[in-house]
């Protein structure tokens, strides 16, 4: 799109110093022409008199006069009659004053012509005629959510031009011309500003408004908001577990409202899903299952055929009357199962921009299938047949690799590693068979699909299981029915988080030997007052899993195990690369690069589950390695083990003037390498800039590398797709290759945003020679404040930045953030997006810190990415100390206060004077000792001092100058290991 401001911006085209050529026709038509445009049917109206050309001087110029001009020139009817103020030096002398036409004249000379004279015109503008046979094609609003909202544009034969600086009068004309009603919002609200385009508000077309090129320089497209007309209609889903499920809300003009469930049919639901880029509708729900709305309930219903692209295009008719207790809701899915005997089995396909294609089976497993079955409301995953079981499909296979736990609400919420993946073997399409909804169980809101709150489907819809005396007998039946092993724990679970779920069973009494929960002694209706029974929760042995926490992504971090319903850590006694290798293989993270010890990623909390591990390296899981009993150890959390795997990835821009400009690098296999420019398009650049926290758009710059390359270029042919909350890691590309392209093809990116902190990525600092040197220190940041110690709280997780919800957010939580940032004491814990709404995922919700945690990630919270918040609820902090710029900050707890923070000026003077006196005194003592014992005194004194120092620091040797960054980091960790933990921290024996 060109950045010219208006198709009549004649300043760039008007070159009156050049020779003016008239039409070659004879007679009257030869004395009339349209000039200075790329078409002879558009432009400034010029007339010739006595052999000289001049323009018209008209106070009023309408479509009537322009129509006569266009008709006379054989250019069809007039489509616009604007007035134009040229730039200084572009003016020609007027010839004809005050032409007035009725509009039906065959030539301009039949109109009332006023006077022929070259006297000065009392106003600045010249008159313009736009004819149907000229360059104009249409006006439109773009980048909005309907044809009646967006940024105003004019489409011409030779391109598209953005309009700039429109106020309410201009927006009114635009909305009327588009038949979109009246204007509710204009791009600019400032009053008293001289405008580049000026309309009265009564014009029939925006092409009749006046243009002043002298004011064109003050037009700033970045300041413009959307035009929103009263006819605008837009849909959204609110309150669901993911962006493609929730209560249906419809925006009419500027007001959001709901619709009655009785007015939402499946064809309309499909159109809503298509409009939101969410594939197809899975189900429609009533009874305000995702909560009640707060605005009006619209009385006009949409009656879609089902093939419309937007809800805006659907026919409408009067709807039902209802209250918010009957608000409509629906769930959509970009995934589907096809070619099976039902909608709940078949080949797995993903829709991207309206096209369905199969997903590769190479890394598809039961946890991925479990998420998909729940997402499609098809129960649980029964099996994952081999690739191609339900046919190959006709389209190219998506190479997507999902790493689901099984609890995620949507497949696109699972960690992914599509970037760099090898192409799929022809015919190796993923398949899934789901159980359906008849008499099955599922566990929700847990840490795996084998623990959590029990729900049952009896009649095709999910219901809660409630009990006042839930025990291991009932839990055993649930675990057995789900194929999740033995019951380890029965507990009272909290109520559902996202939506209202009716009661399925209550007062369950099991012997423990039953094969299905419905075979126990149960009640299918509540027989006791509401609130006296609690949700049944279970932990099965199949819930055992491992994760890497507090690192830059899922493939680097502190080793944590989920055992018997709680997360705990692994002691670093005997921890080595073979142990780390098992973890990396188990998490599908490649091979182990290092096995850091001494709480390299910060001290964990809770149990220390394993100690003295002795893995061979080929075990399938960490708990199959030789070790002591669960929970038996002699460690503290300062000895927590960590892992760096080869599939740990990070992103940065290098070499620019800010963190939002530079060479694009990616960390892979422990080394930074370049990204190649081939196939990079706007959508890929947008995803990259957003992931770096640098705005929503970016562009490529052709910049020679000048020998500044890294010698490695990791990836080429990146082709990102328009997926919800997509990151670069979800983009298909050529396979990882350290020589993917030449240095001339490495990409330099400019993002539209500017960095608000020094580091935009956990591994963005090029000065850290080790790829691991700075990763763990920048997984937390604050944005939007006046310095690096106040702002919106953001966390780096699963390859992207996300925010924290303000639910339960308080000063104790803020204290942990300020300490982690090295910003002193917390002054305020702010909510409701006080520093502006963020972008990307809302990573944490219901954060409840004790205040002693080393990192925010160590606090109790809902699982990552599970929450019921939007970005208008983003949490923020304000800390006492301003951030000090640092390229590679050490952990806040290890950073000593600066001298200025500890000493006053008078104290510093006293300190310096005392040191000088001390030095003089020591010199005198040394001379006395030398006189007393010239032969050996000084040598013995030096020897004794050396031995004393060696005894004190033998566990923390002084590094040599040639040691690399990794060695220095390990040295710091040993020093940390030698430090005592605070006495008031609980130990395992205290629990």
Strands 78-80 and 52-57, how do they pair?
unpaired
User: Cβ contacts of residue 270 below 8 Å, gap of 6+?
Assistant: 280, 281, 304, 306
Identify the H or E element spanning 161: strand 159-162
Cβ(478)–Cβ(539) below 8 Å: no
The CA distances from residue 34 to 65, 83, 134, 745, 847, in Å, are 13, 13, 10, 47, 68
- Tell the burial category of 655 from Cβ atoms under 10 Å away from its Cβ (0-12, 13-18, 19+): middle
Tokens 């691991």 sit at which residue?
772
Could you tell me which of 540, 531, 425, 431 has the C-alpha nearest to residue 478?
540
Q: What is the Cα–Cα distance from 556 to 551, expressed in whole angstroms?
A: 5
DSSP string, 196-262: SEE--S--SSGGGSEEEGGGGGG--GGG---EEETT-EEEEEEESSSTTEEEEEEEETTEEEE-BGG
Q: In whole angstroms, give the CA distance from residue 55 to residue 95.
A: 6
Q: What is the spatial distance between Cα 835 and Cα 325, in angstroms, rounded to a whole number?
A: 34
Q: Please tell me what DSSP assigns to residue 275.
A: H
Give 10-residue mean pLDDT values along the chain (991 residues). 39 31 44 86 91 89 94 94 78 85 93 90 89 92 93 87 87 94 90 79 90 74 87 93 90 94 94 93 87 91 94 94 93 94 94 90 95 94 94 87 92 92 92 93 93 91 88 96 95 82 88 93 67 87 94 91 94 95 95 93 91 94 93 91 94 85 92 91 92 88 73 93 88 95 91 55 34 47 84 80 90 89 86 86 87 79 79 90 45 31 44 62 59 38 28 31 33 35 40 37
What CA–CA distance (Å, rounded) separates 643 from 552? 11
Q: Are 209 and 187 in contact (CB under 8 A)?
A: no
For 932, residues 6+ apart whose C-beta sits below 8 A from its C-beta are: none
Find tokens 């998909």 and name the residue. 372
Token pair listed for 193 = 């500003």
Which residues make Cβ contacts (< 8 Å) with residue 2, sequence separation at least 6? 159, 160, 161
Are 854 and 893 a contacting pair, CB within 8 Å? yes
Q: Which pLDDT belongs to residue 708? A: 65
pLDDT at 927: 59
- Residue 576 in contact with residue 524, Cβ under 8 Å? no
Q: Which structural domains are found in the chain, ordered by start? A: 32-131 (3.10.250.10), 136-229 (3.10.250.10), 233-333 (3.10.250.10), 335-434 (3.10.250.10), 440-543 (3.10.250.10), 545-645 (3.10.250.10), 650-751 (3.10.250.10), 779-880 (3.10.250.10)
Q: What's the angle, vertex CA 806, arms to CA 864 and CA 546, rounded to 5?
A: 15
* Cα separation, 26 vs 8, whole angstroms: 28
Hey, is 906 helix, strand or coil?
A: helix
Rg (CA), the chain: 35
Residue 250: predicted pLDDT? 96
Task: Encode pLDDT of 37-96 as tens digits.
Answer: 788 999 899 999 888 888 899 988 999 999 999 999 999 999 999 988 876 666 678 889
Question: How far apart are the C-alpha atoms of 16 and 885, rounded to whole Å?
Answer: 55
CA distances from 561 to 571, 623, 990 (A): 11, 9, 20
Q: Are 430 and 359 in contact (CB under 8 A)?
A: yes
Residues 6+ apart with CB under 8 A from 365: 384, 404
CA 11 centroid distance within chain: 41
Gap between the Cα atoms of 87 and 982, Å rounded = 73
Structure tokens at 939: 């040598």
Q: Which long-range contacts (CB under 8 A, 24 or more apart) does 335-343 make?
A: 335/279, 335/359, 335/372, 335/375, 335/376, 335/411, 336/279, 336/280, 336/376, 337/372, 337/376, 337/378, 337/432, 337/434, 338/390, 338/393, 339/390, 339/391, 340/390, 340/433, 342/436, 343/376, 343/378
915-938 confidence digits (pLDDT tens) = 566 675 665 665 555 544 443 333
Task: Kindly tell me the number of DSSP H helices and DSSP E strands found in the chain.
Answer: 12, 54
Characterise 482 by phi-psi region: left (phi > 0), alpha (psi -120 to 50), beta (else): alpha
Q: Residue 597: name the closest of 972, 985, 986 by CA.
A: 972
Residue 175's pLDDT is what?
95
> 3-state DSSP call for residue 115?
strand
Closest Cα to residue 350, out of 429, 423, 290, 252? 429
The dihedrals phi and psi of 173, each to the nearest 5 degrees, come to -65, -40
Q: Is 184 helix (H, G, I), strand (E, B) or coil?
A: strand
Tell me how far apart the terminal alpha carbons of the chain are, to the nearest angstrom.
Answer: 64
Tokens matching residue 6: 């208006």
Report the C-alpha gap between 255 and 268 in whole angstroms.
20
Q: Is-contact 507 425, C-beta < 8 A?
A: no
Are 749 and 689 within 8 A, CB to CB?
yes
Q: Which residues of 511-539 are buried (b: 16+ CB within 10 A; e: fewer)?
A: eeebeebbebebbeeeeeeeeebbbbbbb
3-state secondary structure 460-485: CCEEEEEECCCCHHHHHHHHHHHCCC
């Amino acid at each position: 799109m060109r950045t010219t401001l208006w198709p009549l911006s004649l300043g760039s085209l008007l070159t009156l110093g050049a020779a003016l050529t008239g039409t070659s026709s004879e007679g009257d038509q030869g004395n009339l022409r349209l000039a200075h445009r790329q078409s002879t049917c558009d432009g400034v109206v010029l007339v010739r008199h006595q052999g000289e050309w001049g323009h018209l001087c008209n106070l009023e110029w309408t479509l009537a006069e322009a129509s006569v001009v266009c008709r006379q020139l054989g250019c069809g009817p007039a489509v616009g009659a604007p007035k134009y103020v040229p730039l200084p030096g572009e003016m020609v002398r007027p010839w004809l004053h005050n032409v007035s036409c009725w509009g039906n004249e065959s030539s301009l000379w039949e109109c009332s012509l006023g006077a022929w004279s070259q006297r000065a015109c009392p106003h600045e503008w010249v008159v313009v005629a736009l004819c149907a046979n000229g360059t104009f094609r249409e006006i439109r609003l773009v980048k909005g959510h309907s044809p009646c909202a967006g940024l105003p544009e004019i489409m011409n034969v030779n391109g598209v031009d953005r309009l700039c600086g429109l106020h309410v009068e201009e927006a009114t004309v635009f909305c009327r011309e588009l038949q979109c009603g009246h204007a509710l919002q204009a791009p600019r609200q400032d009053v008293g500003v001289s405008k580049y385009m000026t309309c009265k508000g009564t014009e029939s077309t925006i092409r009749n408004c006046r243009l002043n090129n002298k004011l064109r320089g003050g037009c700033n497209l970045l300041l413009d908001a959307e035009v929103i007309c009263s006819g605008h209609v837009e849909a959204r889903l609110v309150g669901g577990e993911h962006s493609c499920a929730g209560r249906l809300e419809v925006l009419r003009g500027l007001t959001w409202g709901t619709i009655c469930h009785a007015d939402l049919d499946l064809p309309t639901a499909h159109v809503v899903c298509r409009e939101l880029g969410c594939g197809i509708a899975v189900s429609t729900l009533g009874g305000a299952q995702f909560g009640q709305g707060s605005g009006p309930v619209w009385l006009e219903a949409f009656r879609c055929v089902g093939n419309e692209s937007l809800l805006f295009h659907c026919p409408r008719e009067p709807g039902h009357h209802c209250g918010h207790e009957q608000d409509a809701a629906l769930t959509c899915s970009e995934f589907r199962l096809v070619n099976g005997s039902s909608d709940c089995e078949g080949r797995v396909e993903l829709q991207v921009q309206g096209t369905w294609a199969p997903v590769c089976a190479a890394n598809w497993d039961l946890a991925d299938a479990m998420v998909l079955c729940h997402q499609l409301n098809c129960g649980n995953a029964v099996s994952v047949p081999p690739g191609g079981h339900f046919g190959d499909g006709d389209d190219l296979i998506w190479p997507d690799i999902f790493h689901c736990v099984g609890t995620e609400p949507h497949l696109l919420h699972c960690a992914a590693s599509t970037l760099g993946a090898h192409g799929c073997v022809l015919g190796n399409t993923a398949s899934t068979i789901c159980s359906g909804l008849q008499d099955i169980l599922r566990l929700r809101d847990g840490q795996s699909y084998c623990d959590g709150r029990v729900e049952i489907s009896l009649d095709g819809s999910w219901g809660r299981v409630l009990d006042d005396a839930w025990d291991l007998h009932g839990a055993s039946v649930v675990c057995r029915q789900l194929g999740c092993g033995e019951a380890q724990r029965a507990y009272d679970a909290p109520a559902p988080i996202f939506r209202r779920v009716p009661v399925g069973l209550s007062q369950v009494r099991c012997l423990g030997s039953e094969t299905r929960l419905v075979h126990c002694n149960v009640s299918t209706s509540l027989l006791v007052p509401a609130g006296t029974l609690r949700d049944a929760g279970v932990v099965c042995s199949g819930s055992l899993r491992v994760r890497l926490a507090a690192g830059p992504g899922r493939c680097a971090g502190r080793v944590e195990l989920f055992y018997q319903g709680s997360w705990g850590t692994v002691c670093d006694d005997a921890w080595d690369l073979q142990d780390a290798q098992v973890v990396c293989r188990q998490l599908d993270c490649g091979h182990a690069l290092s096995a850091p010890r001494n709480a390299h990623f910060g001290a964990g909390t809770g149990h220390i589950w394993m100690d003295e591990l002795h893995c061979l390296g080929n075990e399938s899981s960490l708990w199959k390695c030789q070790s002591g009993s669960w929970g038996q150890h002699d460690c503290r959390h300062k000895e927590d083990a960590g892992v760096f795997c080869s599939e740990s990835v990070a992103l940065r821009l290098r070499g620019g003037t800010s963190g939002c400009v530079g060479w694009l690098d990616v960390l892979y296999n422990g080394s930074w390498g370049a990204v190649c420019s081939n196939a990079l398009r706007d959508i890929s650049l947008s995803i990259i800039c957003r992931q770096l926290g640098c705005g929503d758009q970016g562009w490529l710059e052709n910049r020679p590398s000048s020998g500044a390359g890294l010698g490695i270029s990791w990836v080429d042919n990146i082709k990102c797709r328009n997926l919800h909350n997509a990151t670069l890691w979800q983009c298909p590309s050529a396979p990882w290759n350290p020589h993917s392209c030449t240095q001339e093809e490495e990409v330099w990116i400019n993002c539209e945003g500017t960095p608000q902190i020094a580091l935009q990525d956990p591994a963005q600092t090029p000065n850290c020679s080790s790829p691991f040197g700075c990763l763990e220190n920048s997984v937390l940041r604050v944005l939007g404040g006046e310095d690096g110690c106040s702002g919106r709280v953001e966390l780096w997780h699963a390859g992207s930045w996300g925010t924290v919800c303000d639910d339960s957010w308080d000063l104790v939580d803020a204290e942990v953030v300020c300490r982690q940032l090295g910003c002193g004491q917390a002054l305020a814990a702010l909510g409701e997006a006080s520093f502006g709404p963020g972008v990307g995922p809302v990573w944490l919700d219901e954060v409840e810190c004790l205040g002693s945690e080393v990192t925010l990630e160590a606090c109790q919270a809902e699982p990552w990415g599970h929450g019921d918040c939007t970005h208008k609820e983003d949490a923020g902090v304000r800390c006492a100390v301003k951030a000090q710029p640092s390229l590679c900050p050490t952990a806040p707890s290890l950073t000593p206060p600066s001298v200025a923070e500890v000493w006053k000026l008078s104290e510093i003077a006293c300190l310096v004077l005392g040191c000088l006196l001390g030095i003089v005194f020591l010199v005198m003592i040394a001379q006395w000792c030398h006189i007393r014992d010239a032969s050996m005194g000084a040598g013995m004194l030096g020897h004794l001092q050396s031995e004393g120092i060696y005894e004190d620091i033998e566990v923390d040797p002084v590094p040599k100058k040639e040691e690399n960054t990794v060695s220095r980091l390990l040295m710091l960790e040993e020093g940390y290991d030698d430090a005592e933990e605070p006495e008031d921290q609980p130990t395992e024996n205290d629990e």
